[in-house]
Amino acid sequence: MQNGKLDGIEINLFDYLSDRKYQNFKQNELTLRNASKSCLLTCIDCGSLLTYKHTELKTAHFAHRIGTLKDCEYSEYTKKQTERMRAAKKMLHECLTEKFPLVSPEVEKKIDNKFRSDLIFNFQNGGILAVDYVNSIDVIGMDQKNTYYRENGINNIWILDISNKRKIYKDEEDMDLVKRLILNETVNSVVLLLDTKTKTLTFITMVQIDDAVTRPFEITLKLSDLELAQTGKIMNKFEDQQLEFKMLEAKMLNDKKIQLKIETFGISDTSVIQDVDLDGFDLQQAFEELKTLDVSFKNARQILRFLMQDDIELSESMCKEMLTCTTRTLGKTGAGGLRGVLVDLEDVFRKLLNSKASKPKE
């Protein structure tokens, strides 16, 4: 626990030990150690005696003295806290007090006898921001707390420990857990993961790749680079990185769809449709050329590449006509690259025609 009473006066350790001057820090540290020995530290919740604990490996905190603990809700709240959790909260306290220098946040504050918030900022304009660090994901608990915040006009953000990243990516079914966590957010559509070792913050959000597919986008920044409004709105902008990510994911998705069609149609030589430029390509014009039985190698490749796209729909009559034209063109074409493309085109049109013939008539 970070709160306690020093000789009857309530203090918060994050604030009490925040003096950057070494001499002042050491004096405050000595005061706490002497008070601990002299039984001058007491719990703000139950009044029991506290012990001050702080080493090079442990973040400063209070703990109930052995044998003095009463029925204490505050103790129940803090007893499962690990060193990583204490270090994370201290790190967030230091970072956010620099972002909001005019406000001293309340730490581990009990709200309406229902919840405790790791950090609560009460701004001069009346706005309230709650910041909660989550060591282990509990979506139901987060939902309940989030509902309380929303119903009481409290803005809030969740910051997860970086160890939860594995759990998020473990679910391969459309990142369902990420989507659920994002739904917890009242202000942002992003999951935040704090790495206390590197003092970095990883942002994960869902990016729409096409009408049916979303993918997780992530980027990692220094914690000190976090830009946060009083409403809890994250102000960091990642449009350029997200656009680059979206374009790359869209290309990969399209390549997979093309590969699936290549396998479905049994294209013999995939190199003929690689790097084929479809900018300005007119399918009707290309088909008209095919009807003349004198199609160019370039247009034949473009037609074949075009047919490998995922959303192409040709009528049965057009498939039949193009199959006839391709077969006739093939009959007058000698050996070479064009003939190989025409063989594949003939096979594709035949399979398209067969698939349409096998569908029941509406």
- Compute how many other C-beta atoms are within 10 angstroms of the C-beta atom of residue 265: 19
With a cut of 70, list the residues of the chain below it in pLDDT: 170-180, 182-186, 310-311, 358-362
Cβ atoms 273, 304 nearer than 8 A = yes
CA–CA separation, 227 and 220 (whole Å): 13
Q: 127 Cβ partners below 8 Å, 6+ apart?
A: 155, 230, 231
Predicted TM-score (pTM) of the model is: 0.73
Domains and CATH numbers, the chain: 1-79 (no CATH), 81-237 (3.40.1350), 254-358 (no CATH)
CB 225 within 8 A of CB 234: no
pLDDT on residue 174: 45
What is the Cα 69 distance to its own chain's centre? 41
SS3 143: helix
Alpha-carbon gap, residue 33 to 49, rounded angstroms: 13
DSSP 8-state secondary structure symbol assigned to residue 320: H
Which pLDDT belongs to residue 310?
64
Which stretch of DSSP H or E encloses residue 219? strand 214-222
Phi-psi region of 293 (alpha: psi -120 to 50; beta: other; left: phi over 0): left
Q: State whether residue 362 is helix, strand or coil.
A: coil
Output the CA torsion 61→64→66→68 (10° steps).
160
**Per-residue model confidence (pLDDT) at position 175:** 52
What is the pLDDT, as a whole number, of residue 83?
A: 93
Output the pLDDT for position 281: 87
pLDDT at position 196 is 94
Distance separating alpha carbons of residues 206 and 284, to the nearest angstrom: 38
What pLDDT was estimated at residue 179?
A: 66
